[in-house]
Amino acid sequence: MSATVSANRAFFNQLRKYYTFYTGGFLAFVIVLAIAEQLGLPKVWIGYAFLVATIGLYAGIGIMSRTSDVAEFYVAGRRVPALFNGMATGADWMSAASFIGMAGTLYLSGFDGLGFVIGWTGGYVLVALLLAPYLRKFGQFTIPDFLGARYGGNIPRAIGVFAAILCSFTYVVAQIYGVGIITSRFIGVAFELGVFIGLAGILVCSFLGGMRAVTWTQVAQYIILIIAYLIPVVWLSVKITGIPLPQLVYGQVLQQVTAKGDELRVAPAEVAVRDIYKKNAADTKARIDALPASWEAGRAAAAKRVEDLKAANSTGAEIRAAEKALTDYPASADDARSAWNKQVASNNAKAAPPFQHATPYPTNKTGAAGEAERDTKRWNFLALTFCMMFGTAALPHILMRYYTTPSVQQARQSVFWSLFFIFLLYFTAPALAVLVKYEVYHNVVGSAFASLPGWVAAWATIDPTLMSITDVNRDGIVQLAEITLGGDIIVLATPEIAGLPYVISGLVAAGGLAAALSTADGLLLTIANALSHDLYYKMINPNTSTQKRVLISKILLLIVALFAAWVTSLKPGNILFLVGAAFSMAASAFFPSLVMGVFWKRANRWGCIAGMVAGLGTCLYYMSRTYPQFIEWFGTTRMDLWFGIQPISAGVFGLPIGLITLIIVSALTKEPSRETQDFVEHVRYPNLRGDTVRTAAT
Amino acid sequence: MQQTEKHREYWRRNLQITGVLLAIWFVVTYVMAYFAIPLAEINFFGWPLSFYMAAQGSLIIYVIIIWFYARYMRKLDLEYGVDEGDQA
């Protein structure tokens, strides 16, 4: 025993030394680049330097950790110390959506966006209290393994495999999408090429070394992403408040933002701009009502304008613009209706006065309608929080990480470290959103179009979907209502807003890439393991040699990754929705069976099967009939929302229905066998003397 | 294998602490969010209380809950002789 302890301690010290050196080396690398930038290194080279250095580093770790040993490949040899497993889980957990999207969501939706923040952290309480220690004691390789062992037979395992693949695949598509966006923006290649470059970075590591390589790479990725996230925010905080602790001092900034917000809600220039949007919406609405005549008239007018310009010998640019307007004109009256409806909606959205950042469940309506809207928002906030929390405690790629610690005790500690490292980023994001809002309210609004702050002008030319400002009322001054911001800009542009050199922008992009790659790694591994370990080894061919199992896993990893990249290149919808959907599905499918498997001995096979099918089925049914894109794909008819709950939170129906089904069906069918009940006892105690059940695989 | 009374007591105490910590978790998450509108009137070091809780306060409490649970269970394991010995 004590030999194991000293070996573990020596291993821990060695890891600490490596990663301290590594962090120092990385900072030195950033400093060297910063000096090179001052000496005139072009920006695009800095981008390449970051991309090549970080992906090369991940590949290096992957090659050094290559393995074909089963326990190493699936669970990193079960000797990852709690602290490092915490960092790895942090990187595994924080995806492109957390790193780049979260602060943007908070900027745009204020208090209501905080549902993601508490949901994605509070879920770890459930992981710690209800799952991690018991799964570690069970000590196999995958989550379907647990279902198979606890409930017996292949059906629970098979449903587990299906659900694990479904939610991991949905989630991984969102990650690869993020990788594509970052690489394409960062080094200026096409989106599709960016996807495949990123994929190479993902594969080189998980392919060679499985969980072992992924774990040690994720630790490295965590360090990069947290440095990249904190440096710009701290700097911005110094610029605005003079204090380098944004999380402690942004309350004051929030008060100023609120005061300024009150002013902007009623400022005459703002109201004038909003009235213009309102008029645009009304005009477009009138054209929709006059369809199809208005469509024909509009097309004739556009064609006539081209003719007139040509006849009048106008400049080429004017003619080209008019021709473009003609080619872009809706092809039919039906197309016109949907295009114009969108215009009405976007104009109406811009015509509404901005909500206060800190106000919960805001509404612009008054009286009973206002109360109703407020209530719907409140219930949606609670439902979203619910789904994100229970989804956290059910996503296989996260739960799997707790198989890799040396003991139950370390698994418990490891959840603490996981949440601590995640917390560092998540409690900074709301501060960042408020600081950027302060900048926009105070330094962009009210400035002259001729002298916009540098970052605004720069981003408006790079990508109009992220930043566009039009002088709607033609007074030469920026009004808040004239600014259109894409959420992703908040994190990407912070270095420039804070006046930092370009090297920090490169660092932020490298951090975003690290976040997306690390999550994609964990997810792909989950999918490949579910297929190779659970489906092939456990269900189809139990006599496979260990080498062959690992080989099959590697081949599947490649196939799944390419398939995911192909799906991603089709650009399937909204990232945040995909991520949220994965959480809802995981919560509905896994949570009841996993938790009841530990806490209720009476839960049996049929209960598990019925519960998982009912839970996941309800969740998928609700999404397929309420989310517009799914309705289009599956050809379903739209139904009304249940209690006004958005499709992203479908798990709020799926999980309870799954749980109730599990309880009822279990109670109606036979009690589980003596062995199963012994199994439950076995996972409940970290170490039971005289225990005859053996589950831990090595 | 034979379950002793001592084992059952260990499990009961585990359930108790789990229940208490989940209750705290529930209050700081859902009760706080449900009453966010009235709580926003309270000023907490410059933040409206409900905003502070959702952005920071609840998160800090979650971290503490998990830290406390790991510590408590470690002691409980030792007290009831179900610890993993030197391996941990």
Q: What is the pLDDT of residues A121-142, one digit of tens each?
A: 999 999 999 999 999 999 888 9
Nearest by CB to residue A415, choosing from B2, B25, B66, is B66
Q: Give A-chain residues touching B75 at CB under 8 angstroms.
A: none
- What average pLDDT does the segment A587-615 reach? 95
Question: What token pair was written down for A511?
Answer: 């951090």
Interface ipTM above 0.85: yes
Smallest Cβ distance to A358: which of B48, B69, B74?
B48
Count helices and strands in chain A by DSSP H and E runs: 29, 2
pLDDT of residue A687: 85
**Residues of chain B contacting residue A684, judged by C-beta atoms under 8 Å apart:** 11, 14
Q: Is A698's pLDDT higher than 60?
A: no
Q: Taking CB atoms and an 8 Å limit, are B88 and A121 in contact across chains?
A: no
Higher pLDDT, A621 or A189: A621
Query: What is the overall mean pLDDT for chain A?
Result: 88
Look up residue A456 and give its two tokens: 């605004």
Q: What is the pLDDT of residue A197?
A: 77
Decide if B36 and A684 are in contact by the 8 Å CB cutoff. no
What does the pLDDT average to over A83-92? 92
How many residues comprise chain B? 88
A85 or A176, greater pLDDT: A85
Least confident of A66-70, A269-273, A334-338: A66-70
B33: closest CA of chain A, how far (Å):
7
pLDDT in tens, A296-339: 888 888 888 888 888 888 777 788 888 888 888 888 888 888 88
Residues near A488 by beta carbon (within 8 Å), at least 6 away in sequence: A100, A101, A104, A181, A466
* Residues B30-86: tens digit of each pLDDT: 999 999 999 989 989 889 999 999 999 999 999 999 999 999 999 999 999 888 876
B76 — contact with chain A (CB < 8 Å)?
A: no
Burial profile A135-152: b = 16 or more Cβ within 10 angstroms, e = fewer: bbbbbbbbbbbbbbbbbb
Residue range A344-373: mean pLDDT, rounded: 89
Distance in Å, alpha carbon of A178 to nearest chain B alpha carbon:
25
CA separation for the pair A163, A655 (Å, rounded): 14
- How far is the C-alpha of A657 from the C-alpha of A641, rounded, in Å? 17
- Asked if the Cβ–Cβ distance from A413 to B40 is below 8 Å, we say no
Q: Is the pLDDT of residue B1 over 60?
A: no
Residue A483 bridge partners (DSSP):
A469
Look up residue A423 and give its DSSP letter: H
SS3 B43: strand
CB-count exposure of residue A465 (10 Å: 0-12, 13-18, 19+) = exposed
pLDDT computed for residue A604 by the predictor: 94
User: Is residue A471 a contact partner of residue A199, using CB atoms and an 8 Å limit?
Assistant: no
Nearest chain B Cα distance for residue A502, angstroms: 30
Residue A687: half-sphere exposure toward Cβ, Cα within 13 Å: 18
Which residue, A697, A684, A599, is CA-closest to A134?
A684
pLDDT in tens, A156-201: 999 999 999 999 988 888 888 888 777 777 667 777 887 887 777 7
Q: What is the mean pLDDT of residues A646-660?
A: 94
A175-186: burial string, b at 16+ Cβ within 10 Å, e else: bbbbbbbbbbbb
Phi, psi of B47 (to 5 degrees): -95, 150
Using DSSP, state whether A1 is helix, strand or coil.
coil
B19 to chain A, any CB pair closer than 8 A? The answer is no
Could you give the CA distance from residue A610 to residue A171 in angstroms, rounded to a whole number?
A: 25
Interface contact A378-B36, CB threshold 8 A? yes
Alpha helices for A312-366 (secondary structure H): 316-328, 333-351
How is residue A384 written in tokens? 């979203």
Position A420 scores a pLDDT of 96
Tell me whether B41 touches chain A (CB under 8 Å). Answer: no
Mutate to test the interface with B, among A93, A109, A126, A129 (most CBs of B within 10 A): A129
A429-475 pLDDT, tens digit each = 999 999 999 999 998 898 888 888 888 877 777 677 778 888 888 88
> Would you state the pLDDT for residue A1?
45
Cβ contact, residue pair B62, A692, below 8 Å:
no
Place of tokens 């456990």: A538
Task: Find all residues with CB under 8 Å of A391, minimum gap 6, and list them.
Answer: A123, A582, A583, A584, A585, A586, A587, A651
CA distance B54 to A637: 37
Q: Which residues pair with A211 in a beta bridge?
A: none
Determine how many CB atoms are found less than 10 A away from the CB of residue A18.
Answer: 13
Q: What is the pLDDT of residue A489?
A: 82
Dig out the tokens for B50 from the structure: 């409900």
pLDDT band at A291 (very low <50, low <70, confident <90, very high): confident
Collapsing DSSP to helix, strand or coil, B44 comes out as: strand
How many A-B residue pairs are in contact by the CB < 8 A criterion?
A: 162
Question: Which tokens sit at A569?
Answer: 């290149």
Query: Rounded to whole angstroms, how far apart are CA atoms A347 and A459?
Result: 23
Q: How far apart are CA A439 and CA A652, in angstroms?
A: 37
Q: How far apart are CA A97 and CA A579, in angstroms?
A: 8
Cβ atoms of residues A57 and A187 within 8 Å: no
- With cut-offs at 50, 70 and 90, classify the pLDDT of residue A388: very high
**Which position has the higher pLDDT, A210 or A588?**
A588
What's the confidence (pLDDT) of residue A622?
A: 94
> Out of A38-42, A97-101, B23-27, which region has the weakest mean confidence (pLDDT)?
A97-101
> Has residue B88 got a pLDDT over 50?
no
For chain A, say whether B36 makes contact (Cβ under 8 Å): yes
- B24, closest residue in chain A (CA to CA): A125
Choice between A555 and A388, residue whose per-residue pLDDT is larger: A388
Q: Flag if B88 and A406 touch (Cβ within 8 Å).
A: yes
**Average pLDDT of every residue of chain B:** 91
HSE-CB of A203 using CA atoms within 13 angstroms: 19
For A39-153, where are the alpha helices, taking DSSP H only?
A: 43-64, 70-75, 82-93, 96, 102-109, 114-126, 132-138, 143-151
Residue in B16, B34, B51 to test binding to A, most A beta-carbons within 10 Å = B51
Q: What is the DSSP letter of A129?
A: I
Question: Rounded distance, CA A685 to CA A444, Å?
Answer: 60
Q: Note whether A2 contacts B86, CB cutoff 8 Å.
A: yes
Distance from CA of B29 to the nearest CA of A (A): 7
Q: Flag whether pLDDT at A651 surpasses 80.
A: yes
Taking CB atoms and an 8 Å limit, are A360 and B85 in contact across chains?
no
Chain A residue with CA closest to B3: the answer is: A681
